[in-house]
Amino acid sequence: MTIIETLCKEFSIQPWQAEAVIALLDEGATLPFIARYRKEQHGSLSDQQLREISERLTALRNIETRRNEISESLKKLEVWTEELQGAIDKAATMAQLEDIYRPYRPKRRTRASIAKERGLEPLANLLMMQPPKMASPQEMAAKYVDEEKGVPTADDALQGAMDIIAETVSDDAAVRADLKAFYHSFCAVSTKAASEEAATGTYAMYNDHREPLRAMPGHRVLAMNRGEKEGAIKVSLEVNEQTAQRLIRNRYVLQNGSTASEYVARACDDAYTRLIAPSLDTELRGELTDRAQTAAIRVFAMNLKPLLMAPPVRGCVAIGLDPGYAHGCKVAVVDETGRVLDTAVIYPVGRGAGAVQTAKDTVKRLISRHGVSIAAIGNGTAGRETEQFFVEVMREMDLGDQLGYMVVSEAGASVYSASKLAAEEFPQFDTNLRSAVSIARRLQDPLAELVKIDPKAIGVGQYQHDLKPAELDAALDGVVEDCVNAVGVDVNTASVSLLSHVAGINASVAKNIVAYREENGAFTSRAQLKKVPRLGPKAFEQCAGFLRIPGGKDIIENTGVHPESYAAAKALLKRFDLTPAKAVGTLYQMAEEVGFAALAAELGVGEPTLRDIAAELSKPGRDPRDELPPPILRSDVMDMKDLKPGMELKGTVRNVTDFGAFVDIGVHQDGLVHISQLSSGRRVNHPSEIVRVGDIVTVWVLEVDMQRKRISLTMRRPAQK
């Protein structure tokens, strides 16, 4: 099956779509650009579909490269045949290719290779033929006794021949395929605690634990791997050994009464226990881990997107509090644009009543002086006490609805504050104050602030430290790229970090854009971007549609309409006798009444592109995040001890894993809604079917474990009593 045929089958697309996507990628087009501005060419595939197709294309091309390498290697070894090539061509995975190549791959010195050096291969071939009428194997083996070659007895000769047979069996791709199918159907993963201490510790559930390999969920695979790495548990794969050996014997042992069959059977058993079983254990454990890691990376990416796309709290002066004990609570006030207005360090915890009163006075002064209307409080060390302190300040100031707060994840704030980027942005502040600024800005514009942080440090997944760094980075960078380009970027205010995630723009070009802007003033048209050093025609094509210029020469510069479509946009406006200003709020509906298909034919523009043009001109400066529910701002605080079973609460989903969702209900400890508690009306295969990060949900308290600091929640409405 060709690459295009494979893509069509796996993604349910047409050959012309696959060919178009491949051609665009090979031309160097970015995925956001392809998804947004080449819809006619690929049939309006979504950005997620395009990303998955791109990843699969890379994998298939890697397989194709390896296929060619193996063919060339076999030719050099002078063992290539048309039959072998046919098997190579049919192989669909890298594992299948390697199984075919296994018998010919250069090996280190083995028992079989030593036996061949001693001249025992003819004896092995004779035994494998198992002629019904032959001299006893002992008599045949006696002919190969040669002390100088290291074969002192007939038994030694037979052992060497069986070693050769065992390796031949082990290298048989068909045998391995049979055994893999058997393992996938009947193998179990078994775990035991490595010590009495481990049996009651973190990995207690894995003491004497056993479950089918085929059904083991990814999060348990990763937990099992971590426990094994830490020496807390021992892991093994279990199958019926006799059945596995019988599968091999059925391929090699003839039922014709030959006296050689016993030796072939013993060699088959040895091949399984000594060579195949250890190899399969490693391979299948690797497959389990790869699948688990792929799923975990998918969960991480799935959680990251809504976190980045969380609605910004616009037009508000914000105060950020980065809690702490020894070094105090760092405070920063930023204006509506994120510019730092004031900073302070207070000690609301652990320094006595005098320090608390001084801290209150400082915060009250900052709120009053700068007209603060929202507060962001970090959820790290001393976060709970700082939240209680701030609620007291709010009560004493009695501002009512004029001031609200939100507990914000600190994940990655310390990483950012100690980075070179933060030092360049805030050279006058120490690292602690930079964290407070970052926390305040996360509430104002999560996307603009979080793009400055390594996505791995944001921590919305499971077992991220156990995942393959390159694959995790690629997936998360893709999510950041999709989000930044979906929202669009104000080219006159965006940071280097934000600009560097725009399609077609790398870090050096982003720096050049900022430098040009600082030297020449604000951009007034997209065409000016062509004057930026190193921003060539290809980069301009890729990035221009995603860069916005509010207040530029023309409203169209503040939309997602690409410069290549300006002529079409003007033709559409002329068709309805509208100026760009009069098109706002009306154009899309007017075009829909006429019919986009008819308009597209009339104007000579693709229908998907025309729809996008009309939508953009109807809502210039549109931010898709504004259409989402706003975040919950709190004005009071609860404690875990205030929670009672059955209590109904509103909360925000903070993380989604394979086994459930963690929800912030305002008690500084997220509660877990287990997958079994997400819905009462349907079977849930994965929590992402029901919730995503940032969702506002109604939950009920099931159980509160004060000792273990665990809260169990449900989204299944309790029965009315």
- When pLDDT is averaged across residues 575-584 and rounded to a whole number, the result is 93
- When pLDDT is averaged across residues 155-181 and rounded to a whole number, the result is 96
pLDDT band at 417 (very low <50, low <70, confident <90, very high): confident
Tell the burial category of 11 from Cβ atoms under 10 Å away from its Cβ (0-12, 13-18, 19+): middle
Q: Does the pLDDT of residue 40 top 60, yes or no?
A: yes
Quick one: pLDDT at residue 288?
93
Q: Does the pLDDT of residue 671 top 90, yes or no?
A: yes
pLDDT band at 73 (very low <50, low <70, confident <90, very high): very high
- When pLDDT is averaged across residues 250-270 and rounded to a whole number, the result is 94
pTM value is 0.82
Q: Does the pLDDT of residue 583 top 90, yes or no?
A: yes
Query: Positive or negative, the Cα torsion across 542, 545, 546, 548?
Result: positive
Give the Cα separation of 112 and 165 in Å (integer).
Answer: 8
Quick one: pLDDT at residue 720?
62
Task: Work out the percent of the chain whose per-residue pLDDT is above 90.
Answer: 67
- When pLDDT is averaged across residues 332-343 and rounded to a whole number, the result is 93
Question: Which residues neighbour 98 within 8 Å (Cβ) at sequence distance 6 or greater?
Answer: none
pLDDT band at 316 (very low <50, low <70, confident <90, very high): very high
- When pLDDT is averaged across residues 553-582 and rounded to a whole number, the result is 94
Give the Cα separation of 299 and 659 in Å (integer).
Answer: 11
Quick one: pLDDT at residue 637?
66
For residue 106, the one-letter residue type is: P
Quick one: pLDDT at residue 601?
95
What residues does each domain of the chain span?
A: 3-104, 111-300, 318-477, 551-620, 640-714
Residue 684: count of CB within 10 angstroms of its CB: 16
pLDDT band at 463 (very low <50, low <70, confident <90, very high): confident
Report which of residues 400 and 329 the model is more confident about. Answer: 329
Q: Which spans in 413-533 are helix H? A: 413-417, 420-425, 431-444, 446-450, 469-487, 496-499, 507-520
318-477 CATH pick, 3.30.420.140, 3.90.550.10, 3.30.450.20, 3.40.50.300: 3.30.420.140
- When pLDDT is averaged across residues 148-176 and rounded to a whole number, the result is 95
Quick one: pLDDT at residue 334?
96
Task: Work out the percent of the chain whose per-residue pLDDT is above 70.
Answer: 99
Q: Residue 572 half-sphere exposure, CB side, CA atoms within 13 Å?
A: 38
pLDDT band at 57 (very low <50, low <70, confident <90, very high): very high
Q: Residue 369 half-sphere exposure, CB side, CA atoms within 13 Å?
A: 13
Residue 378: count of CB within 10 angstroms of its CB: 29
Q: Does the pLDDT of residue 6 top 60, yes or no?
A: yes
Pairing of strands 671-674, 710-714: parallel
Distances in Å between the alpha carbon of 470 and those of 294, 683, 689? 12, 34, 27
Q: Does the pLDDT of residue 614 top 60, yes or no?
A: yes
Q: Does the pLDDT of residue 638 top 80, yes or no?
A: no
Question: Which residues neighbour 483 within 8 Å (Cβ) at sequence distance 6 or greater?
Answer: 305, 308, 309, 447
**Which numeric CATH code is attached to 3-104?**
1.10.10.650
For residue 400, give both structure tokens: 């009512």
Report CA 34 to chain centroid distance, whole Å. Answer: 21
- When pLDDT is averaged across residues 384-396 and rounded to a whole number, the result is 90
331 close to 344: Cβ distance less than 8 angstroms: yes
- When pLDDT is averaged across residues 409-415 and rounded to a whole number, the result is 80
pLDDT one-digit tens code per residue, 112-141: 999 999 999 999 999 999 998 878 899 999
Quick one: pLDDT at residue 304?
87
pLDDT one-digit tens code per residue, 211-249: 999 989 888 999 999 999 999 999 999 999 999 999 999
Same fold, 3-104 and 318-477: no
Question: Which residues neighbour 612 within 8 Å (Cβ) at sequence distance 6 or greater?
Answer: 36, 39, 560, 561
Query: Positive or negative, the Cα torsion across 676, 678, 684, 689?
Result: negative
Give the Cα separation of 679 and 715 in Å (integer).
Answer: 6
Task: With H, G, I as helix, E, B as strand and everything else as coil, classify residue 478.
Answer: helix
433 close to 330: Cβ distance less than 8 angstroms: yes
Quick one: pLDDT at residue 407?
85
Quick one: pLDDT at residue 239?
96
Mean confidence (pLDDT) of the chain: 91
Quick one: pLDDT at residue 379?
82
Q: Report the CATH fold assignment for 111-300.
A: Tex N-terminal region-like (1.10.3500)
- When pLDDT is averaged across residues 662-668 and rounded to a whole number, the result is 84
* Backbone dihedral angles phi then psi of residue 237, each to the nearest 5 degrees: -100, 135
For residue 421, give both structure tokens: 């980027």
pLDDT band at 456 (very low <50, low <70, confident <90, very high): confident
pLDDT band at 635 (very low <50, low <70, confident <90, very high): low
Calculate the CA dihedral of residues 350, 354, 355, 360 and round it to 10 degrees: 120
Residue 199: count of CB within 10 angstroms of its CB: 16
Q: Does the pLDDT of residue 158 top 90, yes or no?
A: yes
pLDDT one-digit tens code per residue, 507-523: 999 999 999 999 999 99
Quick one: pLDDT at residue 427?
87
Q: Does the pLDDT of residue 721 top 60, yes or no?
A: no
When computed from its CA atoms, the radius of gyration of the chain, rounded to whole angstroms, is 33
Q: Report the CATH fold assignment for 640-714.
A: OB fold (Dihydrolipoamide Acetyltransferase, E2P) (2.40.50)
Report CA 65 to chain centroid distance, whole Å. Answer: 26
